[in-house]
Amino acid sequence: MLPRRSFRAMTAPLKGRKWDALVIGAGHNGLIAATYLARAGLSVAVLERRHLIGGAAVTEELIPGFKFSRCSYLQSLLRPSIIKELELKRHGLKLLKPMASSFTPCLDGRYLLLGSNGEQDYLEISKFSKRDADAYPRYENKLQKFYKFMDFLLDTPTPETFHGDTSYIDRLRNNKQKSIFWARCLFNVLTLGQKDMVDLMDFLLSPTTKVLNRWFEADVLKATLAGDASIGSMASIHMPGSGYVLLHHVIGETDGDRNIWSHVEGGMGSVSLAISKAANEAGVHIATNAEVSELMIDDSGIVNGVFLADGTQVHSTVVLSNATPYKTFMELVPQNVLPDDFVRTIKYSDYSSGTTKINVAVDKLPQFQCFKMHHLEVGPHHTATIHIGCESMEEIVSACQDALNGFSSRRPIMEMTIPSSLDKTISPPGKHVIGLFTQYTPYRPSDGCWEDPKYREAYAQRCFSLIDQYASGFSSSIIGYDMLTPPDLEREFGLTGGNIFHGAMGLDSLFLMRPVKGWSGYRTPVRGLYMCGSGSHPGGGVMGAPGRNAAQVVLRDVRRSSH
């Protein structure tokens, strides 16, 4: 934390003027929204609680010489329209494609390596099932058909109805916009065709296990694919609707190539840095160490700005919150301002998460027993997402059930990434940075407490020991590590419940239901207050769509009020 004098110096430029718009939180969505607003001619300030920008898309040097993507760790979901419109590549964004997309080692000495090319995928899957090798291209083609429809939904604000007193002209405009949305939706449905549309609905509504059992027979292939459906969730892959989370994680792209998860040179903080450069170029003022303590709302229920933690008042009639819905409405909005039913819905929404992120510095690359290499250089599997403890879907179900019973998983499932296998800027020569996205860990375990150093250490060692089973000597290569449990994610990054998506991504919490039924269009019951974070449509991940969509709605309202 900066000294008080520096804190006041950084917030001083915020005072003495009325901003056209304020953004709470300098995560990627907040920065994106701010940039679009500033490009449209508005004066915009972004207020960040921490000492650095980026929210969960951040790079931090926690061990000297080792730079960790501390929370989010791979890039695929950031919308191509945002990369292009904000010229993020000109501002330094550099994506590093892996040599393979997925690597699943097995204890029996076999492995599954996917994503090199179609011919190689066929040979890899054939090791486990010739039938699956034939089915896999058809599965991929089916997903490709879903992408265009999903792109339309992701890049478009929801067709939400206006609330409160509005003029006849406003209602007419709103009805026109909704009609355009549903007409475009119908066009996309017709383009997809009835059979594929039914298949899409089946995919969205079904349990992941049902979807994958219908397509494949080999346990290791099904488990590898099912891993995407469990990311950041406390829901079992047996649960209806879990198929959507699977689809959510395969709709991204890198430089036009679908379902490719890239490393980012310099870590995920480079995504936020590139956006901040675009924001600065557009004239956005970004203030760090500027924690918002409460919204200023006048007697008529209209936003008038915010109070900072040091007592500073910053004025604006438009405020966008990149914080979670719970943080925004339960902590920042004064009491007795919001409707009771709205507060109840926000309070009892699902913010549970089973995620613990462990960032590890090691003195050598892990060497997997099943993938023998005659040299110690980087292999294609090192650049891929490595699935540990995912040899069958039942292993994933069992790990989840432990957490639902109140215990940290006895045999955690993990996504291991080694960004330094491609990025030489984040670790000393010969040494490496490893990210472990582990599940499942309840927020309040019944067999211990995350504040207890021994309990924390026991879980970390459990994860390291499991990796040792696949890559002997891994534990002995560890120089140091940083661990973020669900309470840590909440405290450090403001992620309510530790949920990386700002709220569960079940079908009851998406589209017109996100974050609250009737309020999916980024507007809120407080006039002038908008949501622009992952808790709003279309949801979580380093996607940027909520920020871009929210900016469109704000600009529409600003233009309407100025006429």
Neighbour-count burial for 226-246, b at 16+ CB within 10 Å, e otherwise: bbbbbbbbbbbbbbebbbbbb
**80 within 8 A of 253, measured Cβ to Cβ:** yes
Per the structure block, which two tokens stand in for 454? 């021994």
Q: Which residues contact 102 (CB under 8 A, 6 or more apart)?
A: 112, 113, 114, 115, 224, 384, 385, 387
What does 449-482 look like in DSSP terms, one character per residue?
-TT-HHHHHHHHHHHHHHHHHHSTTTGGGEEEEE
Distance CA 30, CA 422 (A): 29
d(CA 151, CA 189): 13
Distance CA 240, CA 244 (A): 9
CA-CA distance, 346 to 556, in Å (whole number)? 26
Residue 530 in contact with residue 550, Cβ under 8 Å? yes
Q: Whole-angstrom Cα distance, residue 438 to residue 356?
A: 5
383 CB neighbour count, 10 Å cutoff: 23
Domains of the chain, earliest start first: 4-58+268-349+504-562 (3.50.50.60)
Question: Are 117 and 125 spatial neighbours (Cβ–Cβ below 8 Å)?
Answer: no
- Burial class from Cβ neighbours inside 10 Å (0-12, 13-18, 19+) for residue 446 reads exposed
Per-residue pLDDT of the chain (563 residues; tens, 9 = 90+): 333 333 444 667 888 889 999 999 999 999 999 999 999 999 999 999 999 999 999 999 999 999 999 999 999 999 999 999 999 999 999 999 999 999 999 999 999 999 988 899 999 999 999 999 999 999 999 988 898 889 999 999 999 988 766 778 888 888 898 999 999 999 999 999 999 999 999 998 999 999 999 999 999 999 999 988 888 888 888 988 888 888 887 788 888 788 789 999 999 999 999 999 999 999 999 999 999 999 999 988 899 999 999 999 999 999 999 999 999 999 999 999 999 999 999 999 999 989 999 999 999 999 999 998 777 689 999 999 999 999 999 999 999 999 999 999 999 999 999 999 999 999 999 999 999 999 999 999 999 999 999 999 999 999 999 999 999 999 999 999 999 999 999 999 999 999 999 999 988 999 999 999 999 999 999 999 999 999 999 999 999 999 999 999 999 999 888 76
Three-state SS for 253-285 is EECCEECCCEEECCCCHHHHHHHHHHHHHHCCE
